[in-house]
Structure 1
Amino acid sequence: DLLGELTEDILQRSFLYQLLAKYRPDAVIDSVNTATAFAYQDAEKSAQALLEAAARGQADRATVERHVLLLTMPQLIRHVQILVESLKRAATKAYVKIGTSGTGGMGFNIPYTHSEERPSRLLLTKSAVAGAQSLLLFLLGRTPGAPATVEIKPTATIAWREIGYGPIRRKGKPIPLVDCPTPIAIAQAFAPDAHPWCELAGTLEGAYIDVGENGLFSRDEFETVTALGQMEFITPEEVADYVMMELQGRPTGRDVVAALDAATAGPTYRAAMLRGAALERLRALERDAGSRGVAFEMLGPPRLTKLLWESYLCGLLHPSVRALAESQAAELSRAAHARIERDATLRSHILSVGIPILTPDGERVYRGGQVAVPADGGDGGDPRSAAPRGWVDLRPEQFGIWITRAREMIAQAERRARCSDESGSDVDWTAIGADDPIEPARFATWVFRFEDRGERIKR
């Protein structure tokens, strides 16, 4: 479930998915401290134990699996994958995460640590997970069809829930009273079989302040951590007020996602102006060399390279989008294969960048030494299943897809023509026209935009 691809079965078995699917909330307020939950499983300690077991020759599969299940980033990524898909399917309109800095707002000089390291690796892991989650939420906020995304990240101790006097509980359990009336030699005190203490009746009691996930603090502990210049503190009610104001559309200035939107450097006017000059220079170089690059398979994914080369083949065989839309798939398939057979330079370029070419009958393939998407024919699988992800596919059914795309482009152009009197900035001035030539980059962009819904919504 953790390291494989996210499947429908994994999604359906998730309690988070089941919860959101059942109630379909308009808004979700997530106050679970995910960073603490994942980081404090202590993958570093587990790794040390695994290495020691390996040195003894005892690192069996079960030992390795136990360690793998503690890896922090795979857990976070799978959690967010399930969260995103669940929120989208539930049609949730707003998601608010109450995050953490991991250090109560302090820096690398934080004195509240659990080891000789300052700060401890465990604490830094918590901060790293919290930061990684913020960036994943930043992406969620830029995803069409996903809810409006807000993260409130308190950077101080959050307190308090209760002040009282009574049993002191650690991790939910009362602390038993013990005593050691007589000191013993330090060399013996910590031996595995050492037991110099005796258990007393009752449990530890005292005046406490309950600060939530951090447990119960004594007066002096609370006074220390909240002192000026230490973590200081913020009340839960203030955090809740920030959340409610954001949900009501009243910006608080405390939304980390909005802050990242404002602080990141997006596309610029200068770059847009230079883009045209760069493209013209590339066209001139191609004209002078009599060579067309199309794709080198460095941008990725391999599917993009496939789309670019297949649409390039369509452009070699038909002068316009309309001509492609009026063509026949079988004829287009035969013509494309004939072009591949006789044009060794074209064929070599496609194969050299790692893209196999599947013949029209689906039974043979051209391939080079490197293959970006290898065939997976193991366990009775069909090796052709790799074709949609990164092979130039010359089968008629694949060219039928391109013909269908061309027809949809024409339908879009006709819908725009019915609104020909409109000339505002909301008009899609870069849209593909019915009589436009077939340009691979524009075709690939169209597929990403309209089929994959992969369009940028923030700048």
Structure 2
Amino acid sequence: MLRDECFLVLGGAGLVGSQIVREVARQLQPRKIVVSSLYEVEVAEFLAEVRQEFPHIDFVGTWGDVFVREAFREVAREELLKDSKCREALYEDLFGDFQAAYERSVLVGLIRTYRPDVIVDCINTATALSYQDVERISLKTHEALRQLDESPDDSLLREQLVQDVGMLLISQATLQLIRHVRLLHQAMCEVGTRLYIKVGTTGTGGMGLNIPYTHSEDRPSVQLMAKTAMAFAHTGLLFLMARTPGGPLVKEVKPAAMIGYRRVALQPVRHRGKPRFVYEGRVVSLHDRLALREDPCRYHQKGELMMAGVDTGENGFFARGEFETITHIGQMEFLTPEEVAEQVVLEIKGSNTGHDIIAGIDSNVMVPSYRAGVLRHTALRRLRQLEKESGTHSVALGQLGPPELSKLLYEAYLLQLIYKTLKAVCQASSEEIAQVVYRYLGDHPDLCNQIISIGVPVLAPDGQQLIRGPFINIPESIYDTVEVTPEAIDRWARKGWVDLRPVNMQRWQERFARMMAAKPFLHTQGTASITRTTYLHDTIEIGEVVAWIFANEEGGYRIK
């Protein structure tokens, strides 16, 4: 079996992660294990233990928040949200340029530094992203809007609204999850990671919508359901990652019970890292208003709250009554971290445990069928007949994104109408093709008007003039006007304009030459000659041409 030299365990000092580190060290004995967790102290304490247990393995510790940029890795999110400049930076990392965010990312830096063969992700991503108090912030924002409507000149209200809206924008868990998965995938592709395995969650410990454990008076609570939604959205994105060529193998183990426990102990009770105190109660009368939060200094503090309980790591510290209830048969019940670790290591070894969620989905989705393939030909034949009878051009409507699809289809269609075959296009000069196609559009205004009416403008051969309609799909902007530069024109033309400049016609000639290059092997190599790079026709078939471009130039093809 191929030996993996370096493992990166995210959340490696946590309840499940620590046991996975031990099992990996014990069974797989890699050269290096990188343990990443949120806090430095937990990493240091854990590494002191495992270095004694496995002295022959190089353990490396790293800590900090992997969901933010490097400058924020050791700053609590609550502190970041209080600062307007930090909020703006978080906004930029979420909505701004992807590649710039990639270069700043803690997670990307971690993967680039250690170049792991295997990543085991034990971070409770669903909890991290969903527990951002979005419901409360939304209610506050709505109330501030209502109050500002009544008092439009109130500067304090306006200032609070600006802060609340800013927090709401950067607390959108779905967008955060999408960017997180994209950053992770690109980094793993860059360094050549072999396997990514996620220890996920159901969000409810395996229970349904009737779960009695909640975070509010509602049952089930919005926050808890948001956690489950994130957990399975994450699974969906990992399913897509597993179907993306050039990346790592992707697996997910998803425990559906409460995981515990680390220890039974008498210890101070802490909440979000801060101690809980015992206060001497005060008797108050119930009148019109009840204060839900008061200054603790008004109450006599009698010391820290101590309790015997079960430490379940990142899942929390439970009193005996809570633990007894939640683990009772028919409730969440109970699964140990050692059992999770054992299944994870078996999956790393390549065993079929039956617990890989991604494999389970993969084996149960419905796939393309022979019947649909036959009917595809029938539909295309009928479409061509209707086009001929009606004199219309059924090329693209722009409703199947991206705009680049419409641009490529119309460019291929124009070449098809004029030159018919790949060879004829390759035999002409790019300057000649540009002028001939431009004149053809001038002679066929109905076709030109159809193209520009779906938001795809036509760039003239000189690159200085644009035939356009009332709206343009590319560039995408929140503004009604944008600055025009030569670089911008090149970028927009590639993404969504019918580009009649000679340089683009030359690009088409190069494509067609590559398509024709595979033709001689069709009759000499049998079925082996049909690959992703093969184009089967001498003529320009626009849909098949653009599918070839997506598959061979942009890497957009399915592998299953």
TM-score bracket, shorter-length normalisation: over 0.9
Q: Secondary structure at the match of 1:110?
A: coil
> Over residues 363-422 of structure 1, what are the superposed CA-to-partner deviations in whole Å (9 max), with x where a residue is unaligned?
1111123433258763454562322111111111110110111111122334x36xx442
- C-alpha spacing 1:428/1:371, structure 2 compared with 1 (3 Å): same
- How far the C-alpha of 1:177 sits from its partner, in A, is 2.4
Structure 1 partner of 2:390: 289
Of 449, 453, 456 in structure 1, the residue corresponding to residue 551 of structure 2 is: 449
Bigger Cα displacement from structure 2, 130-139 vs 380-389: 380-389
1:75 match: 176
Give the SS at the match of 1:334. helix
Indicate whether 1:424 and 2:527 are aligned.
yes
Partner SS, residue 56 of structure 1: helix
Q: What is the TM-score with the length of structure 2 in the denominator?
A: 0.76
Q: Is the 8 A contact 2:94 2:170 kept in 1?
A: no
Give the corresponding residue for 1:246.
347
Partner of 2:402: 301
When residues 231 and 193 of structure 1 are mapped into structure 2, their CA distance, relative to the original with a 3 A threshold, is: closer
The Cα shift of 1:194 comes to 6.9
* 2:285 maps to 1:185: yes
Q: Is the aligned partner of 1:406 residue 2:512?
A: yes
- Tell me the CA shift for residue 109 of structure 1: 0.8
- Helix, strand or coil for the counterpart of 2:469? coil
Structure 1 residue 131 and structure 2 residue 131: aligned? no
Give the aligned partner of residue 154 of structure 2: none
Change (3 A) 1:168 1:4: closer
Mapped contact 1:332–1:396 kept (Cα < 8 A): yes
Mark the CA change 1:350 to 1:451 in structure 2 (over 3 Å): closer, same or farther: same
Pair 1:130–1:295, CA change in 2 (3 A)? same
**Cα separation, 2, equivalents of 1:281 and 1:326:** 32
Which residue of structure 1 lines up, in the alignment, with residue 496 of structure 2?
390
Deviations 1:154-182 (A, max 9, x none): 110001111222323333333222222x5
Separation of aligned partners in 2, 1:261 and 1:108: 26
User: Which letter maps to 2:493?
Assistant: A
1:34 is matched with: 125
Which deviates further from its counterpart, 51-60 or 37-46?
51-60
Shift of 1:128: 0.9
How many Å separate the matches in 2 of 1:131 and 1:325? Answer: 49
Bigger drift between 73-82 and 170-179 goes to 170-179
Cα distance, 1:236 vs. partner? 0.6
What amino acid is aligned across from residue 467 of structure 2 in structure 1?
A: Y
2:482 aligned with 1:378, yes or no?
yes
TM-aligned CA deviation for residue 5 of structure 1: 4.5
Q: Which moved more, 1:282-291 or 1:240-249?
A: 282-291
Cα distance in structure 1, aligned partners of 2:244 and 2:168 = 33
d(CA) in 2 for partners of 1:453, 1:104:
38
- 1:119 corresponds to which residue? 220
1:101 to 202, 205, 229: 202
Q: Distance in 2 between matches of 1:242 and 1:426?
A: 41
Cα distance in structure 2, aligned partners of 1:101 and 1:368: 49
Q: What is aligned with 1:314?
A: 415
Separation in structure 2 between the aligned mates of residue 336 and residue 36 of structure 1, nearest angstrom: 56
TM-score in terms of structure 1 length: 0.92
Query: What root-mean-square deviation, in Å, do the aligned CA atoms of Structure 1 and Structure 2 show?
Result: 2.2
The separation in 1 between residues aligned to 2:403 and 2:484, in whole angstroms, is 24
Q: Answer yes or no: is the 8 Å Cα contact 1:2–1:74 preserved in 2.
A: no
Q: Is the contact made by 1:337 and 1:394 (CA closer than 8 Å) also made in structure 2?
A: yes
In structure 2, the CA distance between the partners of 1:55 and 1:18, relative to structure 1 (3 Å rule), is same
Q: Which residue of structure 2 aligns with residue 23 of structure 1?
A: 114
SS class of match (1:336): helix
Question: Which of 246, 259, 271 is the matching residue for 1:170?
Answer: 271
Tell me the CA shift for residue 241 of structure 1: 1.4
Shift of 1:324: 1.7
- Cα distance in 2 between the residues matched to 1:227 and 1:4: 44
The 3-state SS of whatever aligns with 1:74 is: helix
Separation of aligned partners in 1, 2:111 and 2:370: 41
Matched, 1:13 2:84: no
Q: Quick one: percent identity of the two aligned structures? A: 38
Closer/same/farther in 2, CA of residues 379 and 359 from structure 1, 3 Å limit: closer
SS at match of 1:424: helix
SS in 1 for 2:266: strand
Name the aligned partner's letter for residue 133 of structure 1: H
Rate the CA distance shift 1:193–1:24 in 2: closer, same or farther, 3 A: closer
> How many residue pairs get matched?
452
SS of corresponding position for 1:96: strand
Q: Which amino acid aligns with 1:51?
A: H
User: Take 1:306 and 1:5, find their aligned partners in 2: how far apart are those partners?
Assistant: 26
Contact 1:171 1:215 (C-alpha < 8 Å) held by counterparts: no
Q: CA deviation at 1:429?
A: 9.5
Deviates more, 1:436-445 or 1:349-358: 349-358
Between the aligned partners of 1:314 and 1:262, the Cα distance in structure 2 is 42
Cα deviation for residue 3 of structure 1 reads 4.3
Note closer, same or farther for the CA distance 1:239–1:194 as it changes in structure 2 (3 Å cut): closer
Partner in structure 1 of residue 45 of structure 2:
none
Distance (Å, rounded) in 2 between the aligned partners of 1:192 and 1:108: 31
* Partner Cα separation in structure 2 for residue 398 and residue 381 of structure 1: 18
Specify the alignment match of 2:312 in structure 1. Answer: 211
Q: CA deviation at 1:185?
A: 2.3
Q: 2:532 touches 2:548 (CA, 8 Å); kept in 1?
A: no
Equivalent AA in structure 2 for residue 442 of structure 1: E
Cα distance in structure 1, aligned partners of 2:224 and 2:142 = 22
Structure 1 stretch 373-382 or stretch 260-269: which is displaced more? 373-382
TM-superposed deviation, 1:358 = 0.9
Matches of 1:227 and 1:304 in 2, distance apart?
56
For 1:4 and 1:43, locate their aligned partners in 2 and report how far apart those are by CA, in whole Å.
18
Q: Are the aligned partners of 1:2 and 1:75 in contact in 2 as well (CA < 8 Å)?
A: no
The code of the aligned residue for 1:142 comes to: R
Deviation, structure 1 residue 225 = 0.5
Q: Distance in 2 between matches of 1:71 and 1:350?
A: 36
Which shows bigger deviation, 241-250 or 373-382?
A: 373-382
| Structure 1 gap ranges (5+) | none
2:41 corresponds to? none
Q: Distance in 2 between matches of 1:387 and 1:236?
A: 54
Number of the residue aligned with 1:43: 134
Task: Give the SS at the match of 1:177.
Answer: strand
2:368 aligns with 267
Classify 1:255/1:221 alpha carbon distance in 2 versus 1 (closer, same or farther; 3 Å): same
Distance in structure 1 (CA, Å) of the matches to 2:226 and 2:532: 47
Partner of 2:359: 258
* Cα gap change, 1:68 to 1:353, in 2 (>3 Å): closer
